[in-house]
Chains A and B, each alone.
Chain A
Amino acid sequence: QTVVTQEPSLTVSPGGTVTLTCASSTGPVTSNHLPNWFQQKPGQAPRTLIYFTSNRHSWTPARFSGSLLGDKAALTLSGVQPEDEADYYCLIYSGVPGWVFGGGTKLTVL
């Protein structure tokens, strides 16, 4: 069974830059895993930020960028705003088992 690992929590200062990562227990994460990134604020449904590794939706601020970093998928926030405080989840395609979410990263802006 594929396990997808994210940092449980990260803290960043307003205006700073932070990178969240997404690793797979089965090996390197590649574009073939079709990584997606989601943001979820308390009491709200998740919102899709990034699809297919690095593509932003029309509603995704330009300060969010997706990439592959070494063996992981990554979400980088540049020029962090207070409203970016949220939980962030990655999702990768794992073949026969289907899609697997990471455990999520709680991002604190302090």
Chain B
Amino acid sequence: QVQLVQSGAEVRKPGASVKLSCKASGYTFTSYYLHWVRQAPGQGLEWLGRIDPNTGDTHDVQRFYGRVKMTRDTSTRTVDMDLSSLTSEDTALYYCVRERVGGYFDHWGQGTLVTVSS
């Protein structure tokens, strides 16, 4: 069955970077986009960006001004997201979610909690 398994919780100081992982199984890895979504405590969902595991092409939210870098490793069926220059506003649960091209979202990862605190 389709599974998206995310890496464990992270704690970082302001100004640091964090790398989150999402490991896919149960389907053809290169046939679906993977998106990153976050949710700050008590807040709504926010789309961060997506990667095409087939080509490595990415599309992310412009307002992050290059702080987000998404990569994929087809050998390990994993997508990573690096988020740099962290501030307390980046404290959130980060999710990966799969999309079949054309707007067909389906499976979600379990989420990774990132806490940014001095």
| In-complex Cβ contact of A51 among B59, B60, B104 (8 A) | B104
List CB contacts (< 8 Å) of B59-87 with chain A.
Answer: 59-63
Contact residues in A for B35 (Cβ distance below 8 Å): 99
Q: A1, A35, A45, A102 — which one has the most chain B CB atoms within 10 A of its CB?
A: A45
- Of B37, B49, B59, B60, most buried by chain A (CB within 10 Å of CB) is B37
Among B47, B95, B110, chain A packs the most CB atoms within 10 A around the CB of B47
> Which residue of the partner chain A has the closest CB to B63?
A1
Q: Is the CB of A51 within 8 A of B103?
A: yes
A35 vs chain B, min Cβ distance (A): 8
The answer, yes or no, to whether A77 is at the interface (CB within 8 Å) is no
B47 touches A38 (CB 8 A): no
How far apart are the CA atoms of A38 and B37 in the complex, in Å? 13
Would you give the shortest CB distance from B8 to chain A, in whole angstroms?
A: 15
Whole-angstrom CA separation of A40 from B104 in the bound complex = 18
Does A48 make an interface contact (CB < 8 A)? yes
Residue of A nearest to B93 (CB): A45
Alpha-carbon distance between A77 and B105 when the two chains are bound, in angstroms: 20
A38 touches B61 (CB 8 A): no
Are B44's CB and A97's CB within 8 A? no
B53 CB contacts on chain A under 8 angstroms = none
Say how far B108's CB is from chain A's closest CB, in angstroms: 5
Q: Which 7 residue pairs spanning A and B have beta carbons closest together?
A: A34-B103, A104-B44, A99-B47, A101-B45, A51-B104, A45-B108, A36-B105
- Residue numbers of A with Cβ under 8 A of B are 1, 34-36, 38, 40, 45-48, 51-52, 55, 57, 87, 89, 91, 93, 97-104
